[in-house]
Amino acid sequence: MPITFLEDKKIFKLDTSSSTTILKIWDEGYLLCLYYGAKIPDTSFDGYEFRDWASSFSPRNEVIGENAFSPDTAPLEYSGFGTGDFRKTAAAIRNADGNDATDFRYVSHTVSPGVKKPAGMPGLWTVNESDAETLDILLRDRTTGAEVTLHYTVFADHPAVVRFVTLKNASDKPLDIEKLYSASVQLTTMDFDFVHLYGRWGAERNMARSPIEHGHTSISSTRGSSSHYHNPFAALVRHGATEDTGEVYGFNLVYSGSFDITADADYYETVRLNMGINPDGFLWHLEPGETFDTPEAVLVFSEEGLGGMSRAFHRLYLEHLIRGKYRTEKRPLLINSWEAAFFDFDTDKLVSFAERAREIGIDMLVMDDGWFGRRNNDTCSLGDWWVNEDKLPGGLGVLIDRVNALGLKFGIWYEPEMISPDSDLFRAHPDWCLHVPNRPNSIARHQYVIDMSRADVRENIWAQIDAVLSKYKIDYVKWDFNRNLSEAGSALLSAPHGEEIFHRFVLGTYEIMGRLTETYPDLLLENCSGGGGRFDPGMLYFSPQIWASDNTDALERIAIQFGTSLCYPASAMGAHVSMSRRTGFETKGNVAMWGTFGYELDPNRLTEKDLEIVKGQVTEYHKYYELIHYGDLYRVIDPWDDAYRAAWEFVSPDKREALYTEVVLRYRHCPTHFVRFKGLDPEKTYTLEGTDQKYSGALLMKAGLNLSRYPAGCGASFKLHFVAD
Ligand code: GLA
């Protein structure tokens, strides 16, 4: 069993497939984390004890005894603010008497099979209860009666622990939560680099790595969404660990709103990492008896470097996060109208795309922005989700029938969380957007944000979407979100609940997305946020794929996809071939094939030569679908380390097949270009497809092959497909 409790030693041992966590109930009920890291088989921890080294300035617990214990230096598993722990604490609660001192101590625990999930939020799931076990540890603040339950779901076959926290106001007075992190992680050293993903529109998820210094290292969002700028992912990487070797702790928050991940290196050179909802812009009021759940935090551990961490996240998400029909069923190959036509389309033009698409072998036409209200540009009509018959005479039915008659499925674009000031909906309900009284609303892309915290507003938006989806045969929805939240107030929320709006907004979005996926289980949902501005596990729970970036230039996409792959699987990365000019169609196809693959262009503008290449790509898409969607990813040449090339490789789980892709970023003449392949079976013999050459897995991985005879011009690319006997 993954969870063991050693009653005599008051120790919890949490064993995943390759990590161990040791928690100890210390004197006076303090819960300590003695260890988190590589798996330790021991079942007895005789002599493995906690020793405190409090400095004389640190307040002590008098009951335990002067010098014996200080909250400031102990590895507290979940510490409260204001009672002697001066590091970044996991929780801060404003009590009814106005003070915010909190101190949680052990009360009881339970162990149960399967997973637990925070109320109203996405979470990892299991089909078989034996896949995971959950430990719930109840802690109580003895003064106020506030109770926290720490939930730990431990996966037996993955190196993963999933955590969240429930806070219950078990007192007889109201309280306010100022901060409540999903997980607080104690490590016994600060010998780490902090790795995270930063970016901006069109350049999302670049990897950054810097040593942990004394003090705080932090990434966050206060935008109401996870954002383009920081992803809710971080890793603590042992100094010297590489892509393939060394210890890596990966952290990812299953949340799509404002978040914070902070590593705090203290004066005794240990690290505490807190992750959860950003306390900035957050205050949650609880009446007696009420509870609050945090989002889930996913903790993954690898001894095989960043690559091992990535593969652990990918497999965990493929098996226990992504849901629905299209988790396992082959997804339709789509063509999207956005870069092909922007707002300038009508029924005939879309049908002409579909006609050509059919010839190419594409399965679905997606009509992007511009089909509703009076929307001929981005200045109006969000909220008016009725069809624009000037563009689509006879309505959606006529268009969809014509597309379906060609044998193609049909998809549509929505941006449900937004409202244009120039819309019928806003004119009828000016208080349905986020706003605060007597303060002008900020505008972005000519739009305001809908008040998703309001049930009546959600009902209206849902009814509009449902009216379309229930009437027409729609196989796919692209759900967009094109600005961040400001003036975040709701006409229906006032003190003491006013500051709950950021989180209530996210809960509202989750509710309506849940309704959508439950009502239409056959629908393929793709999330999007001005490209990849909300690429997080919360969204992945609802939509198996997320548009990774509005930047469809193949060379720039490589960096985005490298970064994204740190945490998210290939099957989640929306990637299309477009008309971007810097490379030929071969390379555009090779890069997009690392993701969901599809097209974002006017197929009637393809030259005869490009048309043939595109048809070949469609054949390859089918050929490699399983390998890419369900295989293991190995990053081989990282474009951030190598100015000349980028390369990646997919290996099937049974290691019988591998696909290596390389793209030349800059030309450099060199007759030696040895590449050592990764993840193969050293015992197997592989044939390089298209040749008679056979190589052992050992040779391919240790000696490698000299690839200098393959295309080397700037922007060129090639694939090597190895198949074992
Ligand atoms: C966002 C998306 C694009 C497209 C446009 C439509 O920018 O990222 O793919 O859907 O909106 O307005």
Distance 464 CA to ligand 1 centre (A): 20
Average pLDDT of every residue of the chain: 97
- The C-alpha atoms of residue 292 and residue 179 are separated, in whole angstroms, by 11
Q: What is the DSSP string of 552-592?
A: --HHHHHHHHHHHTTTS-GGGEE--EE--SSS-HHHHHHHH
Distance 572 CA to ligand 1 centre (A): 18
- Average pLDDT of span 170-193: 96
For residue range 364-402, list pLDDT tens digits in order: 999 999 999 999 999 999 999 999 999 999 999 999 999
The pick from 369, 379, 445 for probing ligand 1's pocket by mutation, whose C-beta has the most ligand atoms within 8 angstroms, reads 369
Q: Is the pLDDT of residue 111 over 90?
A: yes
Distance 528 CA to ligand 1 centre (A): 8
Q: Can you give the pLDDT at residue 258?
A: 98
Q: Is the pLDDT of residue 53 over 80?
A: no
Distance 530 CA to ligand 1 centre (A): 5
Distance 479 CA to ligand 1 centre (A): 10
- The C-alpha atoms of residue 419 and residue 383 are separated, in whole angstroms, by 5
- At 571, the pLDDT band (50, 70, 90 cuts) reads very high
- Active-site amino acid positions: 480, 550
For residue range 290-326, list pLDDT tens digits in order: 999 999 999 999 999 999 999 999 999 999 999 999 9
Buried/exposed code over 595-624 (b: 16+ C-beta within 10 A; e: otherwise): bbbbbbbbbeebeeebbebbeebbebbeeb
Residues with CB under 6 A from ligand 1: 338, 368-369, 378, 413, 480, 482, 528, 530-531, 547, 550
Q: Can you give the pLDDT at residue 504?
A: 98
- The C-alpha atoms of residue 494 and residue 507 are separated, in whole angstroms, by 18
Of all protein residues, the one whose alpha carbon is nearest to atom 7 of ligand 1 is 530
Quick one: which of 595, 637, 589, 644 has its CA closest to 615?
589
- Average pLDDT of span 606-616: 96
Ligand 1: which atom is nearest the Cα of residue 529? 8
For residue range 635-675, list pLDDT tens digits in order: 999 999 998 999 999 999 999 999 999 999 998 888 999 99
Q: Can you give the pLDDT at residue 170?
A: 95
* Sequence ranges of the domains in the chain: 3-320, 327-618, 634-724
> Lowest-pLDDT range, 42-56, 126-140, 325-339, 515-529?
42-56
Of all protein residues, the one whose alpha carbon is nearest to atom 4 of ligand 1 is 338
- At 51, the pLDDT band (50, 70, 90 cuts) reads confident
- At 478, the pLDDT band (50, 70, 90 cuts) reads very high
Q: Is the pLDDT of residue 96 over 90?
A: no
For residue range 176-186, list pLDDT tens digits in order: 999 999 999 99
- Average pLDDT of span 101-126: 97
Ligand 1: which atom is nearest the Cα of residue 413? 10
Q: Is the pLDDT of residue 57 over 90?
A: no
Under a CB-based contact definition with an 8 Å cutoff, are residues 453 and 504 in contact? yes
Ligand 1: which atom is nearest the Cα of residue 368? 10
Q: Token digits for 355?
A: 């006609």
The pick from 480, 527, 560 for probing ligand 1's pocket by mutation, whose C-beta has the most ligand atoms within 8 angstroms, reads 480
For residue range 456-471, list pLDDT tens digits in order: 999 999 999 999 999 9
- At 205, the pLDDT band (50, 70, 90 cuts) reads very high
Q: Is the pLDDT of residue 1 over 90?
A: no
Q: Is the pLDDT of residue 576 over 90?
A: yes
- The C-alpha atoms of residue 288 and residue 452 are separated, in whole angstroms, by 26
Architecture of the structural domain at 327-618: Alpha-Beta Barrel (3.20)
Distance 539 CA to ligand 1 centre (A): 17
- DSSP alpha helix (H) spans, 255-395: 305-320, 325-328, 338-341, 347-360
- The C-alpha atoms of residue 413 and residue 366 are separated, in whole angstroms, by 8
**Tokens 């109320």 belong to residue:** 119
Q: Can you give the pLDDT at residue 54?
A: 77
- 3-state secondary structure at position 181: coil
Q: Can you give the pLDDT at residue 581?
A: 82
Ligand 1: which atom is nearest the Cα of residue 478? 10
The correct CATH number of 3-320 out of 2.70.98.60, 2.40.50.140, 1.20.58.340, 3.40.47.10 is 2.70.98.60
Q: What is the CATH code for 634-724?
A: 2.60.40.1180
- At 425, the pLDDT band (50, 70, 90 cuts) reads very high
Q: Can you give the pLDDT at residue 131?
A: 95
Distances 445 to 143, 374, 412, 422, 427 between C-alpha atoms, Å: 50, 16, 20, 12, 18
